[in-house]
Amino acid sequence: MLSTASPSAPATPSVNDLHYPRDRFMRLPEVISTCGLSRSTIYDLICREQFPSQISLGGKNVAWLASEIDNWMQARIAQRAGGAA
């Protein structure tokens, strides 16, 4: 008989291993609700390149990628856990 080794999956995926099979757009009210930041703080952080930029959907419509918001939140959590300010 042939012996096959079963691949072992990692116990917990890292932030970089997260896979978004179908990313989605988040509009500003959902971003505010998800992050707990105000509109002005979000745009201020974008100007300082400390928050994901919005994507133009055409006209005056913009949205954010859910994966980028999730990654930003995970980075903030990791920053706290690492003791960095």
The reported pTM is 0.70
Digitized pLDDT (tens) for each residue of the chain, 85 residues in all: 555 555 555 565 565 666 657 899 999 999 999 999 999 999 999 999 999 999 999 999 999 999 999 999 999 999 998 865 5
- CATH node for 23-82: 1.10.238
Token pair for residue 73?
A: 């939140």
Boundaries of every domain in the chain: 23-82
